[in-house]
Amino acid sequence: MKIYFISGLAADRRIFKNIQLPDGFEIVHLDYIKEIKNESLESYARRLAEKIDISENFAIVGLSMGGMIASEISKIHKPVITILISSASTCNQFPRRFKLAYYLRLYKILPVHLFKSASIIKRLFSPESKADKEVLLQLIRDSDPAFIRWALGAILQWKNEQITEPMWHIHGSKDEILPIKNTKPTHVISKGTHLMVLSRADEVNKLLKEMLLSL
């Protein structure tokens, strides 16, 4: 079965470099496409979903923003399962600061280069090793500023309140971007951070294996 992976904001397929699936399951990366100005996350997900082969059973794994997009895709098509990692299944799971950033329109006025600074990356994403930090820094450097600005706005304006079943949600107890207290995960990784797909890949892989083999 094909398992479509969608990365998070300012990341690409390299963020999943430590992810391994059991035999019988194939990782297919849904790489981000060019955004359209003022496009909603729902509309973007609809266009991205065109890359999915719906002639056969499939599942979706979405990381962070990729999980929000996966939630939208699961409304359009019917994956066998949707799995969110370090994400939010509805806008009601956003921390209060997200709402403040939306009302202040910070995504429109803050310089994108601030998001790319090493100090901000360390504070927000908490890379747990030098190798993780290097991967993250390279991903941020390679990211498109226009896409980042659009994505920030699209996330803050996301209005989804529907959880499409079946859905599993893996979250870290130390996630600072999307604090676990606001979310409703089905599986929790103790002391896992927002980037636990890198730093705690063994535990993530174990959960993915259990989930997929139970289908």
Confidence of residue 168 (pLDDT cuts 50, 70, 90): very high
Say if residue 129's pLDDT is above 80: no
Min mean pLDDT across 6-20, 59-73, 111-125 is at 111-125
> Where do the domains of the chain lie?
2-213
The larger pLDDT score, comparing residue 61 to residue 149, is at: 61
Q: What percent of the chain has pLDDT over 90?
A: 67
Q: What pLDDT was estimated at residue 82?
A: 98
* 2-213 CATH: 3.40.50.1820
Which pTM does this prediction carry? 0.90
pLDDT at position 140:
73
Residue 119's pLDDT is 46
**Does residue 61 carry a pLDDT above 80?**
yes
Q: What is the mean pLDDT of residues 124-145?
A: 67
Q: What is the mean pLDDT of the chain?
A: 88
pLDDT at 195: 86
Asked if pLDDT for residue 214 goes beyond 80, the answer is yes
pLDDT category at 7 given cuts 50, 70, 90 is very high
Residue 10: per-residue pLDDT: 76
DSSP string, the chain: -EEEEE--TT--GGGGTT----TT-EEEE-------TT--HHHHHHHHGGGS-TTS-EEEEEETHHHHHHHHHHHHS--S-EEEES--SSGGGS-HHHHHHHHTTHHHHS-HHHHT-HHHHHHHH---SHHHHHHHHHHHHHS-HHHHHHHHHHHHT------PSSEEEEEETT-SSS-GGG---SEEETT--TTHHHHTHHHHHHHHHHHHHT-
More confident position, 184 or 112: 184
What pLDDT, on the 0 to 100 scale, is given for residue 118? 47
> Residue 96 — pLDDT band, cuts 50, 70, 90?
confident
